[in-house]
Structure 1
Amino acid sequence: MDIVLVTTVIASLFLVIGASEPLAARLGLPQSVILAALGILIGVGAAFFLRTDLTDALNPVAEAILGLPIRSNVFLYVFLPTLLFQATLGMNLRRMIDDWVPILVLAVVAVVVATLGVGYALSWVSALPLAACLLVGAIVSTTDPSAVVSIFRSISAPRRLARIIEGESLLNDAAAIALFGLFMGFVMLGVPDPDLGAALGRFPLLIVGGALTGWLAARLAVRVMAQFARHERAQISISVALPYLAYIGAEQAVGASGVIAVVAAGLTLNLTGPGRLPPQAWANLREVWDLLAYWASALIFILAALLIPRLLEGVRPGDFALILVVIVAAIAARLVILFGLLPMLTLLRLSPPVERPYRVAILWGGLRGAVTLALALAVTESLRVPVEVKRVVGILATGFTLYTLLVQGTTLRWVIRRLGLDKLSPIDEALSRQVVAVALQTVREDVARTTENYELPREVVRSEAKRFGERLDQAVHAAEESADILDRDRITLGLIALAGHERDTILARVRERTISSRMAEQVLSDADRLIEAARTGGRLGYQRAARRSVAYGQGFRATVLLHSRFGLSGPLARLTADRFERLLAQRLILRDLDGFIDARIRRIHGRRVAELLQELLSRRVEAVETALDGLRLQYPGYAEELERRFIRRTALRLEEREYAAMREDGLIGAEVHTTLMADLAARRAVAEARPKLDITLRRDELVRQFALFSDLDEATLERLCRAFRTRYVNAGDVLLQKDSPAKRVFFIASGAVELEVAGQEWRLGRGEMFGQMAILLKRSRRAEVRAIAPSTLLVLDEARFRRLLTRSAALREAVRASADKRGIDPGEVLPDLAPAA
Structure 2
Amino acid sequence: MDIVLITTIIASLFLIIGVAEPLSARLRLPFTVILAAVGILIGSGAIFFLQTELTDALNPVAEAILGLPIRSNVFLYVFLPTLLFQATLGMNLRRMLDDWVPIVVLAVVAVVVATLGVGYALSWTSGLPLAACLLIGAIVSTTDPSAVVSIFRSISAPRRLSRIIEGESLLNDAAAIALFGLFMGYVMIGVPDPSLGQALAQFPVLIGGGALTGWLVARVAIWLMGLFGAHELALISVSVALPYLAYIGAEQMVGASGVIAVVAAGLTLNLAGPGRLSPQAWINLREVWGLLAHWSGALIFILAALLIPRLLGDVRISDFALIGTVVVAAIAARALILFALLPLLTLLRVSPVVERPYRTAILWGGLRGAVTLALALAVTESIRVPLEVKRLVGILATGFTLFTLLVQGSTLRFVIAWLGLDRLSPIDQAMSRQVVAVALQTVREDVARTTEDYALSRDVVRAEAKAFGERLDAAVKTAEDSDEILDKDRITLGLIALAGFERDTILQRLREGSLAARMAEQTLLDADRLIEGARVAGRGGYQKAARRSVAYGRSMRIAGALHARFGVSFALARRTADRFELLLSQRLILRDLGVFIDGRIRRIHGRRVTDLLQGLLNRRIEMVETGLEGLRLQYPGYAEELERRFIRRTALRLEEREYVSMREDGLIGAEVFTTLMQDLSKRRAAAESRPSLDIRLKRLELIRQFPLFADLDDKAVRRLDRALTFRYVSPDDVVVRKENPVKNVFFIASGAVELESAGQTWRLGRGEMFGQVAILMKNARLAAVRAIAPTTLLVLDIDRFHRLLRKSAALQNAVRESGEKRGIDPDVLLGDVRSEV
Question: TM-score by structure 2 length?
Answer: 0.91
Number of the residue aligned with 1:685: 685
Number of the residue aligned with 2:157: 157
Q: What is the CA distance between 1:697 and its match in structure 2?
A: 7.0
Number of the residue aligned with 1:120: 120
Number of the residue aligned with 2:661: 661
Number of the residue aligned with 1:539: 539
Closer/same/farther in 2, CA of residues 528 and 752 from structure 1, 3 Å limit:
closer
Q: What is the CA distance between 1:286 and its match in structure 2?
A: 0.4
Tell whether the 8 Å contact from 1:753 to 1:785 is kept in structure 2 after alignment. no
Closer/same/farther in 2, CA of residues 817 and 472 from structure 1, 3 Å limit:
closer
Number of the residue aligned with 1:573: 573
Number of the residue aligned with 2:649: 649
Q: Secondary structure at the match of 2:725?
A: strand
Query: CA–CA distance in 2 between the matches of 1:466 and 1:355?
Result: 47
Read off the aligned partner of 2:803 and give its amino acid letter: R
Q: What is the CA distance between 1:51 and its match in structure 2?
A: 2.0
Q: What is the CA distance between 1:661 and its match in structure 2?
A: 1.5
Number of the residue aligned with 1:107: 107
Q: What is the CA distance between 1:817 and its match in structure 2?
A: 9.4
Tell whether the 8 Å contact from 1:214 to 1:263 is kept in structure 2 after alignment. yes
Number of the residue aligned with 2:766: 764
Q: Secondary structure at the match of 1:353?
A: coil
Query: CA–CA distance in 2 between the matches of 1:367 and 1:740?
Result: 56
Tell whether the 8 Å contact from 2:46 to 2:63 is kept in structure 1 after alignment. yes
Closer/same/farther in 2, CA of residues 356 and 786 from structure 1, 3 Å limit:
closer
Q: Secondary structure at the match of 1:577?
A: helix
Read off the aligned partner of 2:807 and give its amino acid letter: L
Read off the aligned partner of 1:764 and give its amino acid letter: R
Number of the residue aligned with 1:808: none
Closer/same/farther in 2, CA of residues 455 and 560 from structure 1, 3 Å limit:
closer
Q: What is the CA distance between 1:559 and its match in structure 2?
A: 2.2
Query: CA–CA distance in 2 between the matches of 1:295 and 1:535?
Result: 35
Tell whether the 8 Å contact from 2:629 to 2:750 is kept in structure 1 after alignment. no
Number of the residue aligned with 1:15: 15
User: More displaced, 661-670 or 28-37?
Assistant: 661-670
Number of the residue aligned with 1:809: none
Number of the residue aligned with 1:630: 630
Read off the aligned partner of 1:112 and give its amino acid letter: V
Number of the residue aligned with 2:620: 620
Closer/same/farther in 2, CA of residues 317 and 434 from structure 1, 3 Å limit:
same
Equivalent positions of 1:215-614 (< 5 A) are 215-472=215-472, 474-475=474-475, 478-479=478-479, 482-614=482-614
Q: Deviations over 1:305-362 (max 9, x none)?
A: 0110111111000001100110011111111011111111111222221111111111
Tell whether the 8 Å contact from 1:433 to 1:482 is kept in structure 2 after alignment. no
- Specify every segment of 5 or more residues in structure 2 that has no aligned partner in the other structure, as ranges: 831-837
Tell whether the 8 Å contact from 1:727 to 1:795 is kept in structure 2 after alignment. no
| Pair 1:30-2:30 in alignment | yes
Number of the residue aligned with 2:182: 182
Q: What is the CA distance between 1:653 and its match in structure 2?
A: 1.0
Q: What is the CA distance between 1:383 and its match in structure 2?
A: 0.3
Q: Secondary structure at the match of 1:730?
A: strand
Closer/same/farther in 2, CA of residues 744 and 452 from structure 1, 3 Å limit:
closer
User: More displaced, 430-439 or 294-303?
Assistant: 430-439
Q: What is the CA distance between 1:430 and its match in structure 2?
A: 3.2
Query: CA–CA distance in 1 between the matches of 2:502 and 2:339?
Result: 36
Tell whether the 8 Å contact from 1:342 to 1:351 is kept in structure 2 after alignment. yes
Query: CA–CA distance in 2 between the matches of 1:14 and 1:56?
Result: 26
Query: CA–CA distance in 2 between the matches of 1:309 and 1:539?
Result: 57
Number of the residue aligned with 1:800: 803
Closer/same/farther in 2, CA of residues 323 and 770 from structure 1, 3 Å limit:
closer
Tell whether the 8 Å contact from 1:633 to 1:752 is kept in structure 2 after alignment. no
- Specify every segment of 5 or more residues in structure 1 that has no aligned partner in the other structure, as ranges: 806-811, 831-837
Q: Secondary structure at the match of 1:367?
A: coil
Q: Secondary structure at the match of 2:695?
A: coil
Q: What is the CA distance between 1:762 and its match in structure 2?
A: 6.0
Q: Secondary structure at the match of 1:229?
A: coil
Q: Secondary structure at the match of 1:764?
A: coil
Identity %: 73
Q: Secondary structure at the match of 1:729?
A: strand
Closer/same/farther in 2, CA of residues 112 and 612 from structure 1, 3 Å limit:
same
Read off the aligned partner of 1:264 and give its amino acid letter: A
User: More displaced, 640-649 or 88-97?
Assistant: 640-649
Closer/same/farther in 2, CA of residues 187 and 744 from structure 1, 3 Å limit:
closer
Number of the residue aligned with 2:56: 56
Tell whether the 8 Å contact from 1:111 to 1:175 is kept in structure 2 after alignment. yes
Q: What is the CA distance between 1:572 and its match in structure 2?
A: 2.1
User: More displaced, 560-569 or 446-455?
Assistant: 446-455
Read off the aligned partner of 2:9 and give its amino acid letter: V
Tell whether the 8 Å contact from 1:633 to 1:764 is kept in structure 2 after alignment. no
Closer/same/farther in 2, CA of residues 713 and 214 from structure 1, 3 Å limit:
closer
Tell whether the 8 Å contact from 2:85 to 2:262 is kept in structure 1 after alignment. yes
Query: CA–CA distance in 1 between the matches of 2:447 and 2:698?
Result: 70
Q: What is the CA distance between 1:373 and its match in structure 2?
A: 0.2
Q: What is the CA distance between 1:759 and its match in structure 2?
A: 8.0
| Pair 1:730-2:733 in alignment | no
Q: What is the CA distance between 1:225 and its match in structure 2?
A: 0.5
Q: What is the CA distance between 1:220 and its match in structure 2?
A: 1.0
Read off the aligned partner of 1:254 and give its amino acid letter: V
Closer/same/farther in 2, CA of residues 235 and 779 from structure 1, 3 Å limit:
closer
Tell whether the 8 Å contact from 2:741 to 2:782 is kept in structure 1 after alignment. no
Query: CA–CA distance in 1 between the matches of 2:796 and 2:383?
Result: 72
Kindly tell me the number of residue pairs found equivalent between the two proteins.
Answer: 820
Read off the aligned partner of 2:537 and give its amino acid letter: G
Q: Deviations over 1:34-77 (max 9, x none)?
A: 11111111111111222222222222111111100000000000
Tell whether the 8 Å contact from 2:250 to 2:257 is kept in structure 1 after alignment. yes
Tell whether the 8 Å contact from 1:634 to 1:791 is kept in structure 2 after alignment. no
Query: CA–CA distance in 2 between the matches of 1:817 and 1:736?
Result: 21
Q: What is the CA distance between 1:655 and its match in structure 2?
A: 1.2
Closer/same/farther in 2, CA of residues 378 and 775 from structure 1, 3 Å limit:
closer
Query: CA–CA distance in 2 between the matches of 1:772 and 1:799?
Result: 10
Query: CA–CA distance in 2 between the matches of 1:477 and 1:755?
Result: 47
Closer/same/farther in 2, CA of residues 478 and 626 from structure 1, 3 Å limit:
closer
Q: What is the CA distance between 1:214 and its match in structure 2?
A: 0.5
